[in-house]
Amino acid sequence: MLSKILSKEECASCKFCCSFRRQSLWETPLFDEKQMNAVLEKYPGVKFTEVPSSVNQSVRNKKIYTVKLSDKYKTDDSEEEVSCPFLDSTKGCILPRDLKPFDCSIWPLRVVRSDDKIKVVLTPTCSAINKIELSEVKKFVKEELEEKILIYAKSHPEIIKDDSDFFVKL
């Protein structure tokens, strides 16, 4: 969804957002049951795990799943990164567009809840988007994406994160 401002080539060569340290496991891609089953039909060997509501307060009334990475770490180093099983080292994400999680398609944008309102914010750790003027990113998001993202978030509240000072306001 951000291909107008982020080039696919730059994202494919970086892959930062598809690799996770233990402390970043809250950012792994989210699938509802239907999405997970569709993915498992195509990739039956991939392991999923249910996201507990204690991790994501927005999933209380719905079963939500993510890829299971916790058993893939080989060391105790908190900086060790493990890749999403759908990341190909040369091609990038191998999931077809219709199976790719929405929250992956909008990264580094995120939806957060703040004072009972939901809003779109920016994750500050994407080196590619950080090369673009923030005012340009804001304009693009407001004009082209915000409405679509908020509509999706209302029907898929699992993508809504808790707000924090970590995110950049748009």
Rounded least distance, CB 163 to ligand SF4, Å: 22
Question: Shortest approach of ligand SF4 to residue 135 CB, angstroms?
Answer: 27
DSSP state of 143: I
Rounded Cα gap, residues 128 and 17, in angstroms: 11
Dihedral-angle region of residue 116 (phi above 0 means left; psi in -120 to 50 means alpha; beta otherwise)? left
Least separation in angstroms between CB 70 and ligand SF4: 15
* Chain positions contacting ligand SF4, by CB under 6 A: 18, 29, 84, 86-87, 93, 95, 100-101, 104
Q: Which is nearer to ligand SF4, 95 or 129 (CB)?
A: 95
Give me the least distance between CB of 4 and ligand SF4, in Å please.
18
CB of 101 or CB of 157, closer to ligand SF4: 101
Nearer to ligand SF4, 23 or 135 (CB): 23
Q: How would you class 5 by CB atoms within 10 Å of its CB: exposed for 0-12, middle for 13-18, buried for 19 or more?
A: middle
Of 91, 124, 110, which Cα lies nearest the Cα of 1?
110
